[in-house]
Structure 1
Amino acid sequence: MHRPLARAPLRSVADYLCKSKHSLLLQERRNVAENLGFYRALMTTKGVEFLAHGTESTTRSLQMKIVDSLRLGERSKASNLLLDLGHANHSLRPDDFVHILNYCSRSPDPLFVMETWRLMEEREIGIDKLCYLLIIQALCKGGYLEELAVWQQNLSAVHEIWEDYIKHYSFSIIPLRKFIWSFTRLGDLKSAYETLQNMVALALRGSIFINRTAEGKLYSSRLDIPIPSNEALGSMKFHLEGNEQSIPSVDSKKFNCFPSNIEQCNLSMENSEAESSGISWVSKSETMPVTKILRWSFNDVIHACAHARNCGLAEQLILQMKNLGLQPSSHTYDGFVRAVVSEKGYNYGMEVLKVMQQRNLKPYVSTLATLSMGCSKALELNLAESLLDQITESPYPHSYNACLAACDRLDQPERAVQILAKMKHLKILPDIRTYELLFSLFGNVNAPYEEGNMLSQVDAGKRITAIEMDMARNGFQHSHLSMKNLLIALGAEGMIRELIQYLRVAENLFCCNNTFLGTVMYNTVLHSLVEAKESDMAVEIFKNMKSCGFAPDAATYNILIDCCSILRCFKSACSLVSMMVRDGFYPQTLTYTVLIKILLEDENFDEALNLLDQAFSEGHDLDVLLFNTILQKACQRGRIDVIEFIVERMHQEKIQPDPSTCHYVFSAYVDQGFHSTAVEALQVLSMRMLSEEVGTHDEKTQIEDDFILAEDSEAESRILQLFMNSEENVAVALLNLRWCAILGFSTCRSPDQSPWAVRLARNYDTRKGN
């Protein structure tokens, strides 16, 4: 057990440096060195007694073993011993680490001091001023001061260090590089960009010599250059505050001048171009370290653009690199691709990949993964999988999850099996997102619009059990989305008993801690119960939901109003609408659709049409589902008058028909024996379905030649391919028109000029006039 009363409040080094009245960072380096020398002399004078706060540490022996291991270069052994020290049975104090910190400050060893500090924080060991001083000394001497602020996620500390730096020192390229690194790690893209421009300006002003330490570390000779004036650098400023002109707004994705295609971003530059631009210094051997540092910093900012999804700034930086003669590396392109694909799409990213291939640059795994995810998002699965095939190893499943999500959207579970096989072959472990998609893909067996049966329910149960067992093996519990997808799958299969069982599991996992998730879970179950016409059970679940303190939302009320259509009780539905309004939720288009559906169960067409007018007068966006609800019941009851009125109302409201619209209208005429009218109506509605896809006369002619009037045996196959591309409405419309042509009916080029359409428009105007 720790001793909470004896532990001082834990403060970050950044806070200690920034808030202290006599902060070390606000002094000249000479003063810092003097202060550190003073404390070092004090420690030498007091010896072990000072280090141990007056008592010999009980862990001194283990500390000395760690120090000896570090001296011998056995860092792994030192790390293991440090872990042993951290897992000591007795309470640990700051002096149990002070010998280690002291050695790290003298070496210096900034990496091991951060490892030690991290362990102290994990064990909640209060850090006293002596430990702080030793940590600061190790990090300062090791050149990790900026990293220390970043590690603490303290952007304000980095800015204070920057302000202190520009106040007391001339600019040097190595510190600027560290500040850029710090700003990008903390998400300050604006400051990173401005500092990068300062670095470029410094490099262009004169010769900079980069030397190496004995250990091979780069450092710059101190340049006694005054801070350049604003006139010398144009709009570039060295202070990071109040400078809105030196960087385009990071919130804006549009810039005034950027390349319209990737060829303009190709960085292959002839030497003559560089010479004529006055940038011949990049080709000189003595400045190659400067070139590398500039490229590293450009890479940092471009990768920050990827995190910020700032495509425009990434393109600007690529062009600036071209102007400077800096050749991008694979790392540069990795950040650039991730920055641009999110906004410009996978096609733009593929052009970047071609540029890399021309320059014989091997793309990173993350580059290929980003492009594959972009292709999956666009449902280009063939290209997405071909990119995945180029990845020989990957520790992350994100790109594969994107492919699985595309398979889910396209309803292609068989293809998803192949992707899972690739993951298994590469030994890529799934994450919770993978399992969320698996429940959606494989939780139910039947295709959409097919009902479950005993055999499919048994198969679905086996699949769900297998997925859950794999989750358990990999240490995952259900997320709210995986549970929701599981509940949806059970409802789609009609597995009501299992649905209620898993609702209880969901209540224990999520509902007690998050009322919002609880409402979502209940809505999922209620919807499945209503779809299965289990109205009594739905009412019981709703009562239980309210008794447990979960407030219904608009979706809950709409589901329950739909439940009233099963009970055929319009009065109860109206009561629910009143409750809905009292709770602050107003009726939506879906609400009116359900209310009209209830009225139609009693064949009350007049009142249903009045309710339709009320929905329109209240400004609701009427959709095809609402009109199809009326058409379906009118078709069943043979109400041709209602059907013709609704079809023309849809046309007046510019609501495009769908396959269900065509089915109800065609079936109504056929049932009444009006076969010619049925075909004419089918033609008109099918052409209206294509109206948004086909505009010009040439396009219509091409459609007729390729699909409707084509005599080759592959015409139907071409139409069915549209189904595979999720263009169901277009495919159905083309099949309808081709079938009408086969029957010998001429194609109607202008559907509004059809005698049937003209008659509907005339009758509609007459009825509205009355």
Structure 2
Amino acid sequence: MNEKSVHINKKYWSFIVQALSKGGYLKEALKQLTFFGENDFMHPDLPLYNIFLNGCMKSQNLANANNCLKVMDEQLIGKSEITYWELLKVAVWQGNLPVVYEIWRDLRKYYNPSIISLRKFIWSFTKLGDFRAAYSLLQHMVSTGVHGGDCLKVSGEKKIRSSRVDIPIPVIIDFHSSVLDKKMIDLSSPEIGRLDAIKEASVIDVKKNTLSTELRKVLRWSFNDLIHACAQCREYNMAEQLFLQMHDLGLEPSPHTFDGFVRAVILEKGVAYAMRVVNEMEKRNLKPNYTTISTLSIAYSEILELDRAESLLGQILDSSPKYIHPFNAFLSACNVMDQPERAIGILAKMKQLNMRPNIRTFELLFQLFGNVNAPYEEGNIFSRAEVKKRIEILEADMIRNGVQHSFVSLEILIRALGNEGMITEMLQYFHLAETLFLHPKSYSRTVMYNNVLHSLVDAREGRMAVEVFREMKDGDFPPDSTTYNIMVNCCSILGSFKSACALVSMMLRSGYFPQAVTYTALIKILLSDEDFDGALDLLEQSTSEGIELDVLLYNTVLLEADRKGRIDIIEMIIERMHRQKIQPDPATCNYVFSAYIRHDFHNSAMEALQVLSLRMISQDEAVLRERRASFEDLVHSEDPDVESWMINIFEEVNEHLAVALLNLRWCAMSGHSISWQPEENLWARRLASLYGSG
């Protein structure tokens, strides 16, 4: 245009500034605006500055927005309600609540805010979490609309606008004392949610008051904003009151309204209540949106009702990234319920929808499919080959979806491979985690190291565990109580009581005290050298230090005593357990019974089995007398299926109870009479007389 000497007037320059602003060339656009301001013949209008501010908001460029405001101040350009709206959007993008308050204060110096402006401030306050301010403005907005304080119209661009001319008019009332005064509202009040204007006088019948279609839309939008904010703030009472107020105003709730309401009430009132809300929607011929269905499915997954959760997932037909969350929640529930087979159908549904999994999806899949035999059986060549195949398939899928390993996914893999006994592969992922997450404080690595150490010790790779432990300390990753206990247990593999004591010393200096598991590991080392006296001394020491001993510790002694044929040690430990009211478990019965059988003490074996089984049921003779009536018939029943019945029924409630009843039944079938007073048993009385004094 310059080359052809075409005169560029103010109109052309305005289009140039608009194009630059909308295209994101803010530096160039501001240069033109500044040039305008310095030219008396082409002084820019306020709408042009508003367009530039809109460009700043879209580009999220705060510096240019501030520069524009300076130019406007220098050139004495005022502000319209549109200007304040553009500034609000920038403030919300920044997450700057104080700036929103400042914009509000500046606006009301010059304007009695229109309904449209109030709606935009309500949106801003809900986005930034100021629930009370949003509620206060909503009540003022409703009052203004009901009293006809502002009329709305639809513009040529199909946008709802205020019919008022955008000319600054000072506020008539003092908003500072009536609106946005946080002390004005008591959220716990049962009356909250009813308009002050309506409470003061019943002259206005809101239900009969004719509100324009445009006003209804704007009011519903703001109610929706606040109801959705209730969901974020878990203010279910407020959500209910707002819902009732909408009814009072004759505002028909939309599916979006119901969505916010469901999410607000589901945590407090439960998924059954939320489903009743959805049923009410359907009675109104409103279809719940996918967000609502997603919320319900997640809730059912959390309470492990997988059938209902899966049924709702089948209704989601959108592959947007946000809808991956209910699928992940379902996979998590499958993991809790140990039902990986159910996850396969959901994965097929995701493939059908072309829904892109995220890293959380893969973390859950590694948890579900990362083990074959573990934890129920030890890994073998077949299970390990299957695990390797599964991991390769999942990692190939990660690459296709552009998902990289997280620290959590690597932790899960390390634990899974360690459980299967795949030590080489576990160490490969361990070193990968060290490489990818170099900074020591980026993630808590202690748990990861503990998983590696535990797997190495479990695989009896003691020397390798020591190297990893040294690497851990050299890398400034602080060992915790679990780490020290694992390494003390490692010393039982190495057979070094001296090293174990050194670790206990380090443990104490680090501020951790020995626990029952620590003494168990130490005792195991002494027992491997047949140092029963030292093991018993440690038992005494643990008791004097107030350690709450458990059956696992005593079983460790019983196992070794059984192997070495030390019936005297076994009998002393059993009596000590009884004195300390530690109930035996099936392993206890096994060790004691087998020790007597090895020495051909068959009567003692059966008596011990009977006494220990009764103690497994209860150590209180009064409880045994109460249960005798119900259990004695089972023990002496001639029904051939009674044993299967006992296992099926009692294993789910109490596994030890099922074993105890089976033991008693076998004693009875062997011809031994069952006494439900175990302390009167000759074997129990002999142990009490020999070892009862300690």
Name the TM-score, length of structure 2 as normaliser. 0.76
Equivalent position of 1:238 in the other structure: 179
Equivalent position of 1:373 in the other structure: 298
Would you say the 8 A contact 2:519–2:542 is kept in 1? yes
- Paired amino acid for 1:226: I
Check 1:159–1:456 CA distance in 2 against 1; reply closer, same or farther (3 A cut). Answer: same
Which one of 247, 251, 259 corresponds to residue 187 of structure 2? 247
Equivalent position of 1:23 in the other structure: none
Residue correspondence of structure 1 range 131-210 to structure 2 within 5 A = 140-141=82-83, 143-165=85-107, 169-170=111-112, 172-200=114-142, 206-210=147-151
- Distance in 1, Cα, partners of 2:628 & 2:285: 46
SS in 1 for 2:119: helix
Would you say the 8 A contact 2:450–2:483 is kept in 1? yes
- Distance in 1, Cα, partners of 2:313 & 2:650: 25
Equivalent position of 2:383 in the other structure: 456
Check 1:109–1:218 CA distance in 2 against 1; reply closer, same or farther (3 A cut). Answer: farther
| Offset from partner CA, 1:347-405 (integer Å, 9 cap, x none) | 44334334434444322212222222222222222222122122222423111111212
Which one of 413, 430, 434 corresponds to residue 340 of structure 2? 413
- Distance in 1, Cα, partners of 2:96 & 2:687: 72
Residue 225 of structure 2 is aligned to residue 300 of structure 1: yes
Residue 496 of structure 2 is aligned to residue 572 of structure 1: no
| Offset from partner CA, 1:635-657 (integer Å, 9 cap, x none) | 656554245336535646xxx77
1:246 Cα deviation from its structure 2 partner: 1.8
1:170 Cα deviation from its structure 2 partner: 4.5
Check 1:356–1:504 CA distance in 2 against 1; reply closer, same or farther (3 A cut). Answer: same
* Residues 110-119 or 595-604, more deviating: 110-119
Would you say the 8 A contact 1:408–1:441 is kept in 2? yes
1:540 Cα deviation from its structure 2 partner: 1.4
Equivalent position of 1:129 in the other structure: 67
Residue 606 of structure 2 is aligned to residue 675 of structure 1: yes
Check 1:125–1:142 CA distance in 2 against 1; reply closer, same or farther (3 A cut). Answer: closer
Residue 578 of structure 2 is aligned to residue 648 of structure 1: yes
Would you say the 8 A contact 2:611–2:684 is kept in 1? no
1:679 Cα deviation from its structure 2 partner: 4.4
- Paired amino acid for 2:401: N
* Residues 501-510 or 100-109, more deviating: 100-109
- Distance in 2, Cα, partners of 1:703 & 1:363: 53
Residue correspondence of structure 1 range 547-586 to structure 2 within 5 A = 547-586=474-513
1:105 Cα deviation from its structure 2 partner: 7.7
- Distance in 1, Cα, partners of 2:136 & 2:547: 49
- Distance in 2, Cα, partners of 1:634 & 1:350: 60
Residue 616 of structure 2 is aligned to residue 685 of structure 1: yes
| Offset from partner CA, 1:401-445 (integer Å, 9 cap, x none) | 112122222222222222211111111111001111222222222
Equivalent position of 2:173 in the other structure: 226
- Paired amino acid for 1:376: S
- Distance in 1, Cα, partners of 2:475 & 2:324: 38
Residue 28 of structure 2 is aligned to residue 95 of structure 1: yes
Which one of 730, 742, 746 corresponds to residue 654 of structure 2? 730
RMSD, aligned α-carbons: 5.1
Residue 425 of structure 2 is aligned to residue 425 of structure 1: no
Equivalent position of 2:19 in the other structure: 67
- Paired amino acid for 1:497: T
Check 1:174–1:515 CA distance in 2 against 1; reply closer, same or farther (3 A cut). Answer: closer
Check 1:423–1:757 CA distance in 2 against 1; reply closer, same or farther (3 A cut). Answer: farther
Check 1:364–1:510 CA distance in 2 against 1; reply closer, same or farther (3 A cut). Answer: same
Mark the runs of 5 or more structure 1 residues left unpaired by the alignment: 1-42, 52-62, 71-77, 86-92, 231-236, 249-254, 259-264, 266-273
Residue 164 of structure 2 is aligned to residue 212 of structure 1: no
Check 1:154–1:493 CA distance in 2 against 1; reply closer, same or farther (3 A cut). Answer: same
SS in 1 for 2:654: helix
In terms of Rg, which structure is larger? 2
1:120 Cα deviation from its structure 2 partner: 7.3
- Paired amino acid for 2:27: P
Equivalent position of 2:271 in the other structure: 346
1:589 Cα deviation from its structure 2 partner: 4.5
SS in 2 for 1:286: coil
| Offset from partner CA, 1:200-257 (integer Å, 9 cap, x none) | 56567x3445311424433456798635898xxxxxx52444x285224xxxxxx989
SS in 2 for 1:511: coil
- Paired amino acid for 1:388: L
Residue correspondence of structure 1 range 464-543 to structure 2 within 5 A = 464-512=391-439, 514=441, 516-543=443-470
- Distance in 1, Cα, partners of 2:376 & 2:110: 73
Q: How many residues matched?
A: 651
1:544 Cα deviation from its structure 2 partner: 2.6
Identity across the alignment (%): 43
